[in-house]
Amino acid sequence: MTQNEVSMGSKVNEWLTGWKSNLFVRLFLFFLLILLFYFSLSTKLVPKTYDIEPNTYSEKTILATKQIENVLATKEAKLEAAQKVQPIYQIISFKSEQLIDILFDKLLQNNASADTVLNFEEKVSLYNRVIPETMLDYVDAFVAGLEKNPQYSTQLVQEIKLKLLDQQYKIPAETYYKLPRLSESELNNMEPIVKSIVSKLMSDPIIEVQGTRNKVTEQVNSSDLSTSVLREVAQDLVRFSLTANKYLDEQGTAEARDKAQELTKTIFINKNDAIINKDQLITNEIYEQLKSMNLLTDKASYLPRLGLLLLSSLLVLVLYLFIRQSKLSIRENNSQLLMLVIIYIVNIAVMHIVELGVNLDFPYIGFITPVALGTVLIMILLEAPLAWVSTLIFAITASIIFNNESAQLFDFRYGFVAVVVGYASVFSLNQTSQRISILRAGIINSAFSVLSVVILLLLDNHYTIKETTFALSFAATGGVLTAVLVIGILPFFEAVFGILSPLKLIELSHPNLPLLRKLLTETPGTYHHSIMVGNLSEAAADSIGADGLLCRVGSYYHDIGKTRRPSYFIENQSNMENPHDSIEPSLSKSIIMAHTREGVEMLKEHKIPKAIRDIAEQHHGTTLLKYFHHKALQKLGDSGSQLAISEEEYRYPGPKAQSKEAAIVGIADCVEAAVRSMRSPTMEQIDTMVEKIIKQRLEDGQFNECDLTLKELTTISKALREALLGIFHSRIEYPSDLKE
């Protein structure tokens, strides 16, 4: 292998071991979150486009992405409503009786008094001119009166005038030759008959007067007029006096139809309704609708994509800034960030799986979504503050993913329920010690989900029994489903990421587990020592904000290697000789040091998580076995040899503590053994011993590879002294006891 290959291999190994704190890996994971939000929400916020042309047949059914007006259907509905409006007519009496009076007055005047002035031909000519003019003058006067009446529109008045002139009866020429020959008595007899017939015929609505004029002959023939001449003249005068009295009000009709169109409700194409079905002809109207919804490939707008990208970036930015400003361990740990990304993927994937059933005939099926799944996993596997901000992000995504009925971008109902159940889960899981706690949290989740749904239904005030039943049932099921999924998924994260959740730690601390039972039965002294170390280390860890539960459980297993040769460890040597008295110091050293390596091997065999194995391997660090080193030096001196024995030969192989928890367990282990070896320790002795041990380890460089600070070491020292005083208080010699 060349030098370049070796160099490259070392760089790869360095990168693989340092990826948990690598900046580029961190940025990539945040970018992955942006992609997750973008693609998971794109189906709801970015319309799918189609490459189609008008006057062709659609190859697939295209659904509306939002609620829009169905222009074609609305237009047809308005036209239909307008067509149902009947034409509006106005009944306006022409007052033909007055016209008859004027005509007969002229006839009487000219026939009676003009005999000496006008001859016969002149009278015929006079009537031929005067009678039509009389009608025109009467029509003008009648129309002028209508124009002064605000009830009638100008258009209607003009229509009446045109119709009166249009339907005016033209008296035959022979009738004008008959009129001059009528006597005064004949005219007086004829006038009431003409009035009566006109009044009778005009009593009915008349649109087209010609039909009414056809009835005149019958009416006149049944009158009292005796001669045919009188009847013929009467018929023409009646026809001349008859007019239409029912007129179409075109303006009023148009206004009524316009109002009917205005009152016609707009027809909408709702979200997820079919705009066009498969194999349906794409008309120009349908094409325009697709165009208006940006569903055409060549007309698609990129603004929704830009908006979604900004929204996705904003959500991730909120998460990034929160993590950056916090003091959470995820701030520097890419392994935890990767786990957070996977939790987000799982939670959003579950939302989409449930969303597939939204189109089924089950109202509010979205409430069955275990939307708090991600919150609960983050609460258990990571830290509570991260669960708070993630709940808000999950609520926003839920309000988008389940937005199928609203015309808005977000359906606040699902977001509201997600916030309520998320925060309820955070509160209910504040202290999680058993897996049954998750089920209890699921029940609490269901209760608050039902409560939030009840609030929404009461505020809406438009719900049916069916909708209420489904909504409450789904809400109650969602909480239980959350608990079931968390219990099922949790082991995956614990195994893949080596996560020691509080639940897993509690399980590992059960005394009936094989290793702990072996420790208790075969090395009772070591077991008791481990329990004491657990109490001390937990108190010390809690005092500086480290993982106290991990310290306790790690202490239970830290000396498991002593079960291989229990009699070689002093805490197990009751009523027996110390075997180290009869063997070489070098062999004693090997036996004592082997317990860390052998303990790690035993823990690996029983698949105990790495964090506990690390504590077992690192709790002694590279400390010196002073007793056996001194014994070896003394023996060497007694033999008169001038050879020196290096301290390195009698130091533990390490490694030094890599975490606060491993360092704390190592301190507690040494302190407990030292104090236990003291006979009737006093308060001053305990204080001195604790400070001495911590100082020696600090000077020996045992804390160089973990991030314990001097301030934290001071806090740990104080916590250990308080815990030891509580344990050994009955043995402390007070002044009165010393005097005795």
The closest of 334, 328, 317, 310 to 29, measured between CA atoms, is: 334
Distance of CA 470 to the CA centre of its chain: 19
Query: What percent of the chain has pLDDT above 90?
Result: 14
For the segment(s) 511-739, the CATH number from 1.10.260, 1.10.1070, 1.10.287, 1.10.3210 is 1.10.3210
In sign, the C-alpha dihedral spanning 725, 730, 732, 735 is positive
Average pLDDT over residues 340-362: 83
Over 396-448, what HEC string results? HHHHHHCCCCCCCCCCHHHHHHHHHHHHHHHHHCCCCCCCHHHHHHHHHHHHH
**CA–CA dist 331, 323 (Å, integer):** 6
**CA–CA dist 628, 297 (Å, integer):** 83
Q: Is the pLDDT of residue 437 over 90?
A: no
Task: Give pLDDT, residue 313.
Answer: 93
pLDDT averaged over every residue in the chain? 81
Q: Is the pLDDT of residue 361 over 70?
A: no
Task: Give pLDDT, residue 301.
Answer: 62
Q: Is the pLDDT of residue 129 over 60?
A: yes
CB of 675 closer than 8 Å to CB of 529? no
Q: What is the pTM of this model?
A: 0.59
Q: Is the pLDDT of residue 407 over 60?
A: no
The closest of 320, 316, 334, 442 to 380, measured between CA atoms, is: 442
Task: Give pLDDT, residue 309.
Answer: 92
Contacts 24+ apart (CB under 8 A), 496-502: 497/335, 497/338, 497/339, 497/381, 498/609, 498/610, 498/611, 499/339, 499/381, 499/609, 500/550, 500/553, 500/609, 500/611, 500/612, 501/380, 501/381, 501/432, 502/380, 502/432, 502/433, 502/549
CA within 13 Å, CB half, 432: 30
Q: pLDDT category, 342, cuts 50, 70, 90?
A: very high
Q: pLDDT category, 10, cuts 50, 70, 90?
A: very low
CB of 652 closer than 8 Å to CB of 623? yes
Q: Is the pLDDT of residue 14 over 70?
A: no
Task: Give pLDDT, residue 360.
Answer: 57
Q: Is the pLDDT of residue 732 over 60?
A: no
Bridge partners of 90, per DSSP, are 247
**CA–CA dist 728, 244 (Å, integer):** 124
In this structure, what are the phi and psi dihedrals at residue 145, rounded to the nearest 5 degrees? Answer: -65, -40
Which tens digit of pLDDT belongs to each residue from 633-647? 887 765 545 456 788
Which amino acid is located at 176 in the chain?
Y
Over 678-720, what HEC string results? CCCCCHHHHHHHHHHHHHHHHHCCCCCCCCCCHHHHHHHHHHH
Better pLDDT: 14 or 634: 634
**CA–CA dist 637, 183 (Å, integer):** 179
CB of 713 closer than 8 Å to CB of 697? no
**H helical segments located in 46-150:** 71-84, 96-113, 120-147
Q: Cβ contacts of residue 704 below 8 Å, gap of 6+?
A: 656
Task: Give pLDDT, residue 642.
Answer: 47
Distance of CA 91 to the CA centre of its chain: 63
Task: Give pLDDT, residue 311.
Answer: 92
For the segment(s) 32-43+301-499, the CATH number from 3.40.190.10, 3.30.70.870, 1.10.1760.20, 1.10.10.10 is 1.10.1760.20
**CA–CA dist 490, 376 (Å, integer):** 10
Which tens digit of pLDDT belongs to each residue from 74-86? 888 888 888 888 8
Task: Give pLDDT, residue 638.
Answer: 59
Average pLDDT over residues 103-131: 77
The closest of 490, 483, 503 to 442, measured between CA atoms, is: 483
**CA–CA dist 146, 163 (Å, integer):** 14
Task: Give pLDDT, residue 281.
Answer: 77
Q: Is the pLDDT of residue 261 over 60?
A: yes
Q: pLDDT category, 93, cuts 50, 70, 90?
A: confident
Domain boundaries for CATH 1.10.1760.20 within the chain: 32-43+301-499
Burial classification of residue 6, based on how many CB atoms lie within 10 Å of its CB (0-12 exposed, 13-18 middle, 19 or more buried) = exposed
CB atoms within 10 A of CB 540: 30
Distance of CA 333 to the CA centre of its chain: 30
CB of 531 closer than 8 Å to CB of 556? yes
- Reported as type and span, the H/E element at residue 89 is strand 89-91
Q: pLDDT category, 554, cuts 50, 70, 90?
A: very high
Q: Collapsing DSSP states into helix, strand and coil, what is residue 276?
A: strand
Task: Give pLDDT, residue 30.
Answer: 93
C-alpha distances (whole Å) from 425 to each of 143, 267, 377, 378, 422 are 84, 44, 10, 11, 5
Task: Give pLDDT, residue 226.
Answer: 79
Which tens digit of pLDDT belongs to each residue from 239-257? 888 888 887 778 888 888 8
Query: What percent of the chain has pLDDT above 70?
Result: 89
Task: Give pLDDT, residue 731.
Answer: 47
Q: Cβ contacts of residue 190 below 8 Å, gap of 6+?
A: 104, 182, 225, 230, 233, 234, 237
- Reported as type and span, the H/E element at residue 637 is helix 626-638
Q: Collapsing DSSP states into helix, strand and coil, what is residue 172?
A: coil
CB of 38 closer than 8 Å to CB of 309? yes
Which tens digit of pLDDT belongs to each residue from 162-190? 888 888 888 888 888 888 888 888 888 88
Length of the chain: 740
CB of 537 closer than 8 Å to CB of 555? yes
Which tens digit of pLDDT belongs to each residue from 459-508? 877 777 877 888 888 888 888 888 888 888 888 887 787 777 777 788 88
